[in-house]
Copies of this chain bind each other. A is one copy, B any other.
Amino acid sequence: MKTRRSDRLIDMTRFLLERPHTLISLTYFAERYESAKSSISEDLAIVKRTFKSRGIGILETIPGAAGGARFIPSISEEECRDFIGSMMTEMSEQDRLLPGGYVYLSDLLGRPDVLRQVGRVIARQYLDKQIDAVMTVATKGVPIAQSVSSYLNVPFVILRRDSKITEGSTVSVNYVSGSSERIEKMELSKRSLKRGSHVLVVDDFMKGGGTVNGMKSMIEEFESELVGITVFAEATFEGHRMIDEYTSLLKVDKVNTLDKTIHVSAGNYLEKVFGTPSK
C-alpha cells in the first residue's frame, strides 16, 4: 500500500535521525513507502528545508535516480550558546564543591538531556572531518564518547587504567599525570582500533592534559591519526600544560573552598567553532 506523504515525512525523519552520516538511497525509500522516486525526492527536499531552518542538521541530497540522502547532525550557534550558558549556571552551584576543590559533575554526565546536547555540540565541530572512531578513557569520559559517537555514527573505544580479561590482548602506554606528576598506565584492547584510523579524543575534564597526552601516545601506537581533542570542561592550570591544541566547552576558572564559590565560564568552543568570542 502506498504511503501518504505525511506518514512518509514522519517516518523518514525518524529513519534519517537514527542513521546519521549514512547514505540512504532513493530506491530504498521508494520501496519502503511503495512510492515513486519523484515523490521521495520531493519529500527529501521538504525534510532538507525543515532540518536547515530548525538547525537540526544538513540533509545532503544526491540527485538523480541513483541518488539518495545523508543526514549530518548539527546544532545552531544559538543553541550551543544556550547550552553552554545553562551548564555554566549549573556548574557554579555551591553544593557541587567537593573537598580538595574538586567539582562534582557526575549527575550532569548521567542526564540524557545534557548528554544529547554535549554530543550534538561536539559532533558539530567535526561534521566535515573524516572520523573513524571516538576515543576516551574510563569511566567518566564514556558517556560523552557514546553521545558524540551516536551523532557521528562511528564506534567509540575506551582506554582503561586496569587490565580486564574480557578485553583480550592489549597495548599499554605510560603517561605522566599532569596534576599529580605520577606515572600512570592505560591500556586499550588490540582489537578495538584498526591501524590508520582517524580518531577524535573526548574527555570529561582536563587539568594538566596528562591523560589526553596518554591518549595521543596510544593513537600513535595504533599507527592512527589524531583529528582533534574536545573536553567537556577544562580547569585553569597553573603549571605547564602538556596539550596546546584542544577545545573545551566550559572552563572552571576559580574554586574557592573558603567562601564556597565556583566560577565557571565558557571554554574556547564558541570562538573556535563560530569565530565569535566566548562572552
By a beta-carbon cutoff of 8 Å, the part of chain A in contact with chain B is: 5-7, 9-11, 13-14, 17-18, 46-47, 49-51, 53-54, 56, 98-100, 102-107, 110-113, 115-116, 138-140, 142-143, 146-147, 149-150, 153-158, 160, 162, 165-168, 189, 191-192, 205
Roughly how many angstroms separate A34 CA and B46 CA in the complex, as a whole number? 19
Cβ-defined contact, B146 with A106, below 8 A: no
8 Å CB contact of A106 from B10, B18, B192? B192
Roughly how many angstroms separate A102 CA and B14 CA in the complex, as a whole number? 37
Chain B residues with CB below 8 A from A162, complex form = 162
8 Å CB contact of A46 from B6, B102, B191? B6
Cβ-defined contact, A115 with B150, below 8 A: yes
Cβ-defined contact, A165 with B98, below 8 A: yes
Cβ-defined contact, B7 with A6, below 8 A: no
> Quick one: given A100-B165, A149-B112, A150-B115, are A9 and B9 in contact (CB under 8 Å)?
yes
Cβ-defined contact, B53 with A107, below 8 A: no
Cβ-defined contact, B165 with A50, below 8 A: no
Roughly how many angstroms separate A147 CA and B23 CA in the complex, as a whole number? 24
Cβ-defined contact, B9 with A10, below 8 A: yes
Cβ-defined contact, A160 with B142, below 8 A: no
How far apart are A13's CB and chain B's nearest CB, in angstroms?
4
Chain B residues with CB below 8 A from A11, complex form = 50, 54, 56
Using A6-B46, A10-B50 as known contacts, list a sample of 4 further A-B pairs with CB atoms less than 8 Å apart, ordered by residue number in A: A10-B46, A14-B54, A98-B166, A110-B192
Cβ-defined contact, B155 with A192, below 8 A: no
> Quick one: given A143-B146, A189-B106, are A14 and B56 in contact (CB under 8 Å)?
yes
Would you call the interface of chain A mostly helix, strand, loop, or mixed? helix
Cβ-defined contact, A104 with B168, below 8 A: yes
Chain B residues with CB below 8 A from A150, complex form = 112, 115-116
Nearest CB in chain B to that of A161: its residue: B162
Chain B residues with CB below 8 A from A54, complex form = 11, 14
8 Å CB contact of A110 from B51, B112, B157? B157
Cβ-defined contact, B167 with A106, below 8 A: yes
> Quick one: given A112-B149, A142-B142, A191-B104, are A49 and B7 in contact (CB under 8 Å)?
yes
Nearest CB in chain B to that of A6: its residue: B46
8 Å CB contact of A14 from B17, B99, B115, B155? B17
How far apart are A169's CB and chain B's nearest CB, in angstroms?
9
Roughly how many angstroms separate A9 CA and B46 CA in the complex, as a whole number? 11
Roughly how many angstroms separate A17 CA and B112 CA in the complex, as a whole number? 13
Chain B residues with CB below 8 A from A154, complex form = 112
Cβ-defined contact, B166 with A105, below 8 A: yes
Q: Pull 22 A–B residue pairs with CB atoms less than 8 Å apart, ordered by A.
A: A5-B6, A6-B9, A6-B50, A7-B50, A7-B53, A13-B13, A13-B14, A14-B17, A98-B166, A98-B168, A99-B165, A99-B168, A104-B167, A106-B158, A107-B155, A110-B155, A110-B192, A112-B154, A115-B146, A139-B139, A142-B143, A143-B146
